[in-house]
């Protein structure tokens, strides 16, 4: 498997150097750059084209949310994971709307961090378990306010695809979905590709946002 190229953005020198040292020792991961403020993170992202960026939220010059928005607009293929100590709802929802594929807290252990980076590089989205329920609750609240009718796009999904969409809402990985449904991980990926195509979205997070915005997933999912 190709090495995952990572850019680290954090304004705390000890954290920045600590992450660099930690990741450099991991097999299959290459740290290609580091930044201590938002503008530098954007500049390096566009120059170095990393696979994954670990992005702090509170940084001088430009916060991580705005930096994420600019990076994703210019290079949609770059995956951004928000790695922060902040877990307030405003920061979480702003980061997701800006295009972050994941939001994890700095109390995560090494194995979880490495797994998150590799999952992001594979195109998966991820959210720290401590805040996943709040994200789902927020999007459910939005759907109740909007009271939109189910669009024709959703009618194109098969029963199995709807089932997988519900499991995405539970925060399950491809491997976990495959185990739950007793199918192969490759089959799960094929179903996800079909879902993304039918809903006209690019990834798991966008599919979930679409589903909740259009009231396609009940609040008890």
CA distances from 207 to 1, 34, 79, 185 (A): 27, 31, 16, 19
pLDDT band at 217 (very low <50, low <70, confident <90, very high): low
Q: How far apart are the C-alpha atoms of 80 and 68, rounded to whole Å?
A: 7
pLDDT band at 219 (very low <50, low <70, confident <90, very high): very low
pTM equals 0.63
Tell me the two tokens of residue 102.
Answer: 């994941």
Residue limits of CATH 3.40.50.2300 in the chain:
4-127, 134-213
CATH topology of domain 134-213: Rossmann fold (3.40.50)
Helix axes 89-98, 129-146, angle to 10 degrees: 80
Q: Would you say residue 149 has pLDDT above 50?
A: no
CATH of 4-127 among 3.40.50.2300, 3.60.150.10, 1.25.40.10, 3.20.20.70: 3.40.50.2300
Quote the Cα angle for 119-75-126, to 5°. Answer: 25
Please measure the distance between the N-terminal and C-terminal CA atoms of the chain and give it in whole angstroms: 35
Lowest pLDDT segment from 2-11, 20-29, 101-110, 204-213: 204-213
Q: Would you say residue 92 has pLDDT above 90?
A: no
Lowest pLDDT segment from 47-61, 63-77, 152-166: 152-166
DSSP assignment of 22-89, as one string? Answer: HHHTSTTEEEEEEESSHHHHHHHHHHH--SEEEE-SS-SSS-HHHHHHHHHHH-TTSEEEEEES---H
Q: How far apart are the C-alpha atoms of 140 and 132, rounded to whole Å?
A: 12
């Amino acid at each position: 498997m190709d090495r995952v190229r990572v850019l680290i953005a954090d304004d705390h020198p000890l954290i920045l150097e600590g992450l660099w040292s930690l990741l450099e020792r991991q097999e299959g991961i290459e740290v290609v750059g580091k930044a201590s403020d938002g503008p530098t993170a954007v500049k390096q992202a566009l120059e170095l084209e990393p696979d994954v960026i670990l992005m702090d939220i509170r940084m001088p010059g430009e916060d991580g949310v705005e930096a994420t928005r600019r990076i994703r607009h210019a290079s949609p293929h770059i995956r951004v994971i928000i790695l922060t100590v902040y877990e307030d709802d405003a920061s979480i929802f702003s980061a997701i709307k800006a295009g972050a594929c994941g939001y994890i807290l700095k109390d995560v252990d090494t194995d979880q961090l490495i797994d998150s980076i590799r999952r992001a590089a594979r195109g998966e989205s991820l959210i720290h378990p401590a805040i996943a329920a709040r994200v789902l609750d927020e999007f459910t609240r939005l759907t109740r306010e909007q009271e939109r009718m189910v669009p024709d796009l959703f009618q194109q999904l098969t029963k199995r695809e709807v089932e997988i969409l519900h499991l995405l809402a539970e925060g399950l990985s491809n491997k976990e979905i495959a185990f739950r449904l007793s199918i192969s991980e490759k089959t799960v990926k094929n179903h996800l590709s079909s879902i993304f195509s039918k809903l006209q979205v690019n990834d798991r997070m966008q599919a979930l946002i679409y589903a909740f915005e259009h009231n396609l997933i009940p609040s008890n999912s």
